[in-house]
């Protein structure tokens, strides 16, 4: 149960990071309340899918969910939405893999990361901070290029 709550919090954090990215790069079509509700709903669906513990399915649902959010909630064409969704997906996967391999090296046992709740929290916090910093860097590099 505690693990499910932790993963739910992780998905909320990911939704907030995505929201900041989308809002910094694109102009919204709807109010914050409507956009926020839709984004949280998409991330709730991604959370449910993630409970199947299939890495490739999580990556695909992350890509499709974010693409769906960008296309429906923001003023952007399909090519740019695909590009920005790919940026988020790559950033998410790379930051998680960096942290996973670093912690696996520290623990000397990859299975310790998946079986130990403390390791899960360390992995989640570290990878989300790194993901957030990566997204902030991308936003900074795109500064002044907000879609009209």
68: CB partners within 8 A, 6+ apart: 42
pTM, rounded to two decimals = 0.87
* Residue at token pair 């959370």: 47
Question: In whole angstroms, what separates CA 129 from the centre of its chain?
Answer: 11
Residue-wise pLDDT for 35-80, tens only, equals 999 999 999 999 999 999 898 999 999 999 999 999 999 999 999 9
Residue-wise pLDDT for 92-138, tens only, equals 999 999 998 888 787 776 666 667 777 788 888 999 999 999 999 99
Q: Are 55 and 4 in contact (CB under 8 A)?
A: no
Cα distance between residue 44 and residue 26, in whole Å = 22
Cα distance between residue 97 and residue 132, in whole Å = 15
């Amino acid at each position: 149960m505690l693990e499910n709550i932790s993963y739910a919090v992780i998905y909320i954090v990911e939704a907030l990071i995505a929201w900041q990215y989308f809002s910094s790069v694109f102009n919204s079509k709807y109010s914050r309340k409507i956009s926020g509700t839709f984004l949280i709903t998409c991330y709730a669906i991604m959370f449910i899918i993630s409970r199947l513990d299939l890495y490739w399915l999580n990556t695909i649902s992350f890509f499709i969910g974010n693409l769906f959010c960008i296309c429906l909630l923001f003023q952007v064409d399909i090519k740019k939405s695909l590009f920005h969704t790919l940026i988020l997906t790559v950033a998410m996967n790379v930051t998680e893999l960096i942290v996973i391999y670093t912690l696996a090296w520290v623990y000397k046992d990859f299975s310790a990361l998946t079986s130990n709740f403390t390791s899960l929290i360390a992995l989640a916090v570290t990878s989300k901070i790194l993901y957030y910093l990566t997204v902030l860097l991308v936003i900074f590099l795109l500064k002044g290029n907000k879609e009209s």
